[in-house]
């Protein structure tokens, strides 16, 4: 019989070599891939930490310089007599000297500018018009600067106060933040508040700062205020409208809330978590600013740094697959030539398995291992032919002996059960079937206790039949002349005498033989 190609020895040998070689290459490739990915991720973490520090340093440099400018201006205004024209000139000069400041406001308490003026407040901000600057009066009933939170909070706290990001409607019409610094005047050796100097910073420069420090296509920057209000976010619609807490709840990322708590505690670090929109695994670095209490988060998609590695992985898989296919072809060609005589031996073995000991086996043509195997196979065939006759006569003798034994068992009038160690019935004689009314199919594999139960005094303490006989078989003891009750198929009972003899195989109990005979009738006494 011709062996199918896929089941031939050369193909299987080639498959074994391919599996072993492929596994080896895969292990080395995977180890190398993991090492390269670990290096890439470590580089990305370093770049993220560097980018976070750069954004924080740039932010601190700008807002720190604006806060120092406001402090300097507040100190310069203390005890200095001013006119409204001079106030506007000072505010314009601040904008001329500080490109990072988008607007400057100087506001006074009642009668603080001069005794004839109740309140005075001026706001100058940059404009795209011809004059480049626009001055607005903050003392109008619509403005009422003295009622605003930023003004009252700065005077009450007596120190610089950074506002939350807000939209400067009617002014610059941009998203801005304000730092407000109070200034004082000495009256009767006491410092009394005179007014508030405020510098306005637009937030667009923060976007430029973040973009300048992005190091990958998926890198993004989030900046939030002390209260968690978003100042910069990849989605512009979230700016000012959302906080870190609402964003964490909306995007199901509680890690953002933990980051804000760490920033409030002046701690910096990194974290990995999964985002759902878009679905990706991100790594973030976070760090608090030194000024204003803001926080900076720089994140990136880890998969973005592994794109090149994944592409190389695909190229490597194609190369390894081609190499293994070439190796398989070489192995198949060589082994088919070297092991061709084995195919003929396989055909001869099939014929021998069919008891055709006259099959032809070609004489060996090579003096190698395969040739010697062919010669040994020829000798084995001849030896099998000689043994076949002896085994046939021996088998016939055993068959005759078994037939005689079966006839002897069937002729016994006593009930004979052949049992397993678990006391399940494996064989019965015809007397059992006649006596009980069961068929052989109903009894085979059934427990002996279904038909037979011991009676006192043998079954002391009401021990079940199976338990007593199983212990006897386990210990290799015979049980002789035990009174018992036989129940037939119709439920009728017959008193019997039970004898159990263990069956052994090399001193190991493998089962038992139980015989039942009718119990002698008891004589009645008057």
The pLDDT tens digits of the residues spanning 198-238 come to 999 888 888 888 888 888 888 889 999 988 999 989 888 88
Averaged pLDDT of the chain: 82
Q: What is 412-518's CATH number, 2.40.50.140, 1.20.1050.140, 3.30.450.20, 3.40.50.2000?
A: 3.30.450.20
Provide the pLDDT for residue 50. Answer: 92
Provide the pLDDT for residue 526. Answer: 36
Among residues 154, 165, 167, the alpha carbon closest in space to that of 193 is found at 154
Cβ-count burial of 214 within 10 angstroms (0-12 exposed, 13-18 middle, 19+ buried)? middle
Residues in the chain: 526
Provide the pLDDT for residue 459. Answer: 45
206-307 adopts what CATH topology? Beta-Lactamase (3.30.450)
Angle at Cα 361 formed by Cα 356 and Cα 364, nearest 5°? 160
Q: Which residue has the tokens 């006391």?
A: 423
Map 449-515 to HEC letters.
HHCEEECCCCCHHHCCHHHHHHHHHHHCCCEEEEEEEEECCCCCEEEEEEEEEEEECCCCEEEEEEE
Is pTM beyond 0.85 here?
no
Do residues 503 and 511 make contact, with C-beta atoms less than 8 angstroms apart?
A: yes
Provide the pLDDT for residue 267. Answer: 93
Provide the pLDDT for residue 39. Answer: 82
Residue partners of 497: CB distance under 8 A and separation at least 6: 481, 482, 483, 484, 516, 517, 518, 519
Mean pLDDT in residue range 302-319 = 73
172 pLDDT higher than 90: no
User: Cα(117)–Cα(181) distance, rounded to whole angstroms?
Assistant: 22
Regarding predicted confidence, which is higher, 257 or 325? Answer: 257
Provide the pLDDT for residue 395. Answer: 56
329 pLDDT higher than 60: yes
The pLDDT tens digits of the residues spanning 370-426 come to 777 777 777 877 777 777 666 665 555 455 555 545 555 655 678 898 988 888 998
Candidate ranges 119-128, 163-172, 318-327; pick with highest mean pLDDT: 119-128
Among residues 159, 148, 96, 156, the alpha carbon closest in space to that of 124 is found at 96
Among residues 467, 477, 464, the alpha carbon closest in space to that of 512 is found at 477
Do residues 140 and 123 make contact, with C-beta atoms less than 8 angstroms apart?
A: no
User: Cα(451)–Cα(456) distance, rounded to whole angstroms?
Assistant: 17
The pLDDT tens digits of the residues spanning 98-151 come to 888 999 999 999 888 888 778 899 999 988 777 788 899 998 888 899 999 999
Provide the pLDDT for residue 8. Answer: 64
Q: Do domains 62-201 and 412-518 have the same CATH topology?
A: yes
Its CATH architecture, for the domain 62-201, is 2-Layer Sandwich (3.30)
Do residues 227 and 221 make contact, with C-beta atoms less than 8 angstroms apart?
A: no
Do residues 428 and 434 make contact, with C-beta atoms less than 8 angstroms apart?
A: no
480 pLDDT higher than 80: yes
Do residues 475 and 464 make contact, with C-beta atoms less than 8 angstroms apart?
A: no
Mean pLDDT in residue range 454-468 = 64
User: Cα(475)–Cα(421) distance, rounded to whole angstroms?
Assistant: 11
The pLDDT tens digits of the residues spanning 228-249 come to 999 989 888 888 889 999 999 9
The pLDDT tens digits of the residues spanning 423-451 come to 899 888 888 888 899 998 888 988 988 88
User: Cα(44)–Cα(216) distance, rounded to whole angstroms?
Assistant: 9
Q: Where are the domains of the chain?
A: 62-201, 206-307, 412-518
Provide the pLDDT for residue 361. Answer: 74
The pLDDT tens digits of the residues spanning 184-203 come to 988 777 888 899 999 998 88
Provide the pLDDT for residue 411. Answer: 56
């Amino acid at each position: 019989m011709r062996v199918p190609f896929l089941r031939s020895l050369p193909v299987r040998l080639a498959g074994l070599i391919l599996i072993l070689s492929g596994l080896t290459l895969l292990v080395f490739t995977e180890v190398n891939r993991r090492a390269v990915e670990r290096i890439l991720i470590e580089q990305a973490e370093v770049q993220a930490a560097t980018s976070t520090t750069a954004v924080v340093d740039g932010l601190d440099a700008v807002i720190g310089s604006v806060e120092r400018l406001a402090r300097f201006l507040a100190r310069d205004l203390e005890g200095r007599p001013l006119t409204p024209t001079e106030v506007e000139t000072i505010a314009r000069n601040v904008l001329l000297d500080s490109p990072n400041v988008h607007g400057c406001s100087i506001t006074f308490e009642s009668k603080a500018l001069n005794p004839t003026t109740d309140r005075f407040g001026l706001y100058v901000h940059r404009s795209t018009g011809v004059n480049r600057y626009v001055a607005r009066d903050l003392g109008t009933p619509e403005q009422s600067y003295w009622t605003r939170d930023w003004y009252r909070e700065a005077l009450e706290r007596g120190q610089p106060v950074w506002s939350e990001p807000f939209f400067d409607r009617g002014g610059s019409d941009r998203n801005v933040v304000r730092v407000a610094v109070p200034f004082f005047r000495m009256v009767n050796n006491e410092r009394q508040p005179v007014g508030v100097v405020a510098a306005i910073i637009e937030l667009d420069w923060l976007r430029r700062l973040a973009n300048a420090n992005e190091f990958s296509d998926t890198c993004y920057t989030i900046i939030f205020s002390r209260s968690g209000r978003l100042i910069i976010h990849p989605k512009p619609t979230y700016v000012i409208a959302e906080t870190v807490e609402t964003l964490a709840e909306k995007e199901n990322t509680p890690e953002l809330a933990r980051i804000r708590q760490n920033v409030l505690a002046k701690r910096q670090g990194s974290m990995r978590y999964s985002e759902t929109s878009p679905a990706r695994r991100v790594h973030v670095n976070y760090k608090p600013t030194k000024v204003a209490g803001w926080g900076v988060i720089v994140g990136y998609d880890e998969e973005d740094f592994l794109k090149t590695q994944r592409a190389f992985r695909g190229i490597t898989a194609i190369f390894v697959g081609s190499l293994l296919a070439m190796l398989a072809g070489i192995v198949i060609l060589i082994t088919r030539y070297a092991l061709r005589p084995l195919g003929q031996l396989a055909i001869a073995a099939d014929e021998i398995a069919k008891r055709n000991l006259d099959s032809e086996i070609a004489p060996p043509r090579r003096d190698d291992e395969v040739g010697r195997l062919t010669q040994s196979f020829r000798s084995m065939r001849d030896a099998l032919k000689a043994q076949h006759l002896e085994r046939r006569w021996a088998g016939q003798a055993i068959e005759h002996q078994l037939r005689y034994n079966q006839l002897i068992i069937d002729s016994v009038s006593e009930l004979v059960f052949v049992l397993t160690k678990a006391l399940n019935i494996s064989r019965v004689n015809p007397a059992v079937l006649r006596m009980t009314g069961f068929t052989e199919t109903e009894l085979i594999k059934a427990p002996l206790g279904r038909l037979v139960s011991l009676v006192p005094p043998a079954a002391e303490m009401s021990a079940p039949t199976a338990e007593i006989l199983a212990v006897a078989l386990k210990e290799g003891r015979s049980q002789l002349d035990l009174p018992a009750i036989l129940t037939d198929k119709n439920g009728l009972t017959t008193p019997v005498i039970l004898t159990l003899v263990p069956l052994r195989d090399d001193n190991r109990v493998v089962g038992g033989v139980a015989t039942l005979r009718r119990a002698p009738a008891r004589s009645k006494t008057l």
